[in-house]
Amino acid sequence: MDPRYEEFVAVETPRLLRVAYGLTGNPHDAWDLVQEALVRVGMKWRTVGDGNPGGYAHTTLVRLNIDRGRRLSRERLPGVLPDHDGPVRVDAVLDPALIEALRGLPKQQRAAVVLRALEDLDHAGIAERLGCSVGTARSHLSRGLARLREILAEREVSDHGA
C-alpha cells in the first residue's frame, strides 16, 4: 500500500464522512459512500495521487450519492444499528429535525446545501462537484436553502401544535 494513499485516507476520511452524512442522513449509508469513494481513488491512485485526489474523492462521493436513486427517500431511521467498533462514530446529541429536513430535499439541492455548509464551496465549486453549470448550482442551492427553511418551519409548527 502506498504510504501516501494511507495518509490521504487518514486525512480525508473525516471530511468525506461529514459531507456523506449530510448527504445521506445516516452514518451507515454515509460510510458506504465514503468507502466506495476512497476505494475508487485507491484504484486510480497512480494517476490521481499526484493531482488532486481530495477533489476527485469528493466529486466521486457526491455523484455516487446522486446515482443511488430514490431508494431511501421514504425511509426514516429511528435508531442506531447494533454495530461494534464500526467505522463511524456518531455523537449521541444529533439534530434529528435537521437531518430529516435535509433528507426531504431533492438530492441535487441537498448536495448543494451540504457542500456549501460543510465544504464552504462557492457556486462554481458546487457546480464542479455536481457536474452542472454554475447557474444550475446557484439554483439548486437557493431553492434547497429556501425549502430547508420551509420544512423546518413546518415541523416546528407541527411540533407546537401536537
Partner 1 sequence: MEPEDESYDDLLARIQAAGARVAPGPAAGERVHGALARRRRRRRAQVALASVTAVAAVTVAGVVVVPGLLDDDATVTPADEVSAPAIIEGGGYRPAGFFKDVVGGTAVPSITRYYRTVRKVVFTARFEWSPDPAREAFLADLSLERYRSDAEQRCARLVEEDGSCDVREDGSVLATYEVAADGAFLAPIGQEGRLRLDGSPGVLRGATYFRTDAKAVTALVCNCSSLGGAVLSEAPPVSFEALADVVTDPSWALRVGS
Q: How far is CA 124 from CA 10, 39, 56, 118, 128, in A?
A: 27, 26, 16, 15, 6
Q: Which residue, 66 or 98, has its beta carbon nearer to partner 1?
A: 98
State the minimum distance, in angstroms, from the CB of residue 52 to partner 1: 19
State the minimum distance, in angstroms, from the CB of residue 28 to partner 1: 7
Contacting residues for 155 by C-beta, under 8 A, at least 6 apart: 97, 100, 101
Q: Which residue, 36 or 128, has its beta carbon nearer to partner 1?
A: 36
Residues binding partner 1 (CB under 8 A): 1, 6, 9-10, 13-14, 17-19, 21-22, 27-28, 30-32, 34-36, 38-39, 42-43, 68-69, 71-72, 74-91, 93-95, 98-99, 102, 113-114, 116-118, 122-123, 138, 141-142, 145, 148-149, 152
Q: Which residue, 59 or 64, has its beta carbon nearer to partner 1?
A: 64
- Rounded to 5°, the CA angle 49-8-132 comes to 65
| Neighbour-count burial of 73, counting CB atoms closer than 10 A to its CB (0-12 exposed, 13-18 middle, 19+ buried) | exposed
State the minimum distance, in angstroms, from the CB of residue 122 to partner 1: 6
Q: Which residue, 131 or 150, has its beta carbon nearer to partner 1?
A: 150
Judge whether 88 and 27 are in contact, CB under 8 Å.
Answer: yes
**Whole-angstrom distance, CA of residue 29 vs CA of residue 16:** 12
State the minimum distance, in angstroms, from the CB of residue 35 to partner 1: 5
| Neighbour-count burial of 48, counting CB atoms closer than 10 A to its CB (0-12 exposed, 13-18 middle, 19+ buried) | buried
Q: Which residue, 136 or 142, has its beta carbon nearer to partner 1?
A: 142
Give the position of cell 476520511: 13
State the minimum distance, in angstroms, from the CB of residue 137 to partner 1: 11
